[in-house]
Amino acid sequence: MLSVLRKARLKDKEMRILMLGLDNAGKTTIVKKIMNEDVTTVSPTLGFIIKTIDFEGSVDAGTSHPLSSRIADSWAATS
């Protein structure tokens, strides 16, 4: 999914991603890897964490965006 977002290269956009999953599925590990943080000391998350990630080429992946159908298709193909 991140490769699709980077290829879009739309600047000055904000994106919000909600990561949901089963316990011990690796959600925190994925976020830490994206943020280049150490993943060797990941422990269970109590409650929830809100992180702000800045990177070039971000894209609004909302349903009003022209690429939303492509993103949804890519997402479905990986499930």
Q: What is the pLDDT confidence band of residue 20, given thresholds at 50, 70 and 90?
A: confident
Give strand ranges (E) for 12-63: none
CA dist., res. 56 & res. 67, Å (int): 17
Instruction: Tokens 């949901």: give the residue.
Output: 20
Q: Which residues sit in the known binding site for GTP? A: 21-28
Q: What is the pLDDT confidence band of residue 69, given thresholds at 50, 70 and 90?
A: low
* Lowest model confidence (mean pLDDT) among 1-5, 46-50, 61-65: 61-65
Average pLDDT, whole number, for the chain? 72
Q: Which residues sit in the known binding site for Mg(2+)? A: 28, 45
Q: Which residues sit in the known binding site? A: 21-28, 45
